[in-house]
Amino acid sequence: MLEEKVKGSVFGGIIGDALGTLVEEMDRETVKRAYGGPILDFREPSPLSVCPYLKKGQYSHESQIFLMALEVYAEKGYFDENLYIEKLVEWVKDEKSHRYPAGSHINAALSYAAGLEPDEARVKACDIDGAIPSAAAGIFRWDSSYDAYSEGRYIASITHDDEALVDTGGILAVAVSEVIGGRVIFNSKEDQVGFIEILREFAQTPMVRSYLDLLHQAVEKETKGLDDVLLLLGNGSFAPEAFSFALYVALKNAVSFKKAVLTAVNSYGDFGGDTDAIAFITGTLVGGYLGITSISQEWIECVEGNRYVEILVKKLLEKLER
């Protein structure tokens, strides 16, 4: 059961990212021009996308950094800050591997490569990509939400110096840990609200708590239109915003991995949004909740580096068994 959930969470996240990258920051009309309508499956990126140079099934830098964090756990059996920084520095040196020309992780890695101390290297930003690697802590610390929160914060704080961002990283790790540990169910509105309340107990910043309160409100009201939820929570790259919206999509579509991820991918609305990060978080949570068997083999085989991910998960599980 643990193996199925871990695999589902890892593959769920990177599949969501790969699909969401196709329409990141594109509004509804641009998506229609680029693809003829909503994204329903893997396809080549449009020239109108932010990533026209990627290939079908490739994901963004967010999954790259997440997998680096997972590699640290798989290699060491704990989170080694120095190894993580080494991996970031090697990644930033290889310009061909970059999925975007800029980004907070790249800036932090460049600073570490220049020999700066952590206080100087950390980036003052609150974009959701800074929190996404913390999902690795939730997977590895599946049996303890307290350890997950602590390590999720720790991972985010290596590259970022923003309390709301670091707090979001911790909360994301808790959410993943709760799901993979099988400690929550999403069958009813009461179940969903109870899960939000668990996360709120861990939150340490007013900003993150306020977004979780808005999420609570959206779930309680059972808002039917996703556009209404977009207006309430937002779908931009601000970390508490993107996390709360992704969690709403996951909670309301947890019976089907495909439905949950495609809802997240196509959540661009009239103004566009951070659809790859939202779909990553949604996929990580629902994939972990339902397990790997909920994800079609066709999607697994289409996503970039799937054989490598299988090996990485196997190594991770060996460390978990010890």
Q: What is the average pLDDT across 294-303? A: 98
Residue 98, pLDDT score: 74
- Answer whether residue 253 shows pLDDT above 80: yes
- Answer whether residue 309 shows pLDDT above 70: yes
Q: What is the average pLDDT across 235-247? A: 97
Residue 260: helix, strand or coil by DSSP? helix
Hey, what domains does the chain have and what are their CATH numbers?
Answer: 2-321 (1.10.4080.10)
Nearest to 128 by CA among 257, 239, 41: 239
Task: Quote the pTM value.
Answer: 0.97
Q: What is the average pLDDT across 74-85? A: 97
Residue 321, pLDDT score: 82
Report the range of poorest mean pLDDT among 178-187, 217-226, 266-275, 295-304.
217-226
Per-residue 3-state assignment (H helix, E strand, C coil) for 145-163: HHHHHHHHHHHHHHHECCH
- Answer whether residue 74 shows pLDDT above 90: yes
| Confidence class for position 97, pLDDT limits 50, 70, 90 | confident
- Answer whether residue 228 shows pLDDT above 60: yes
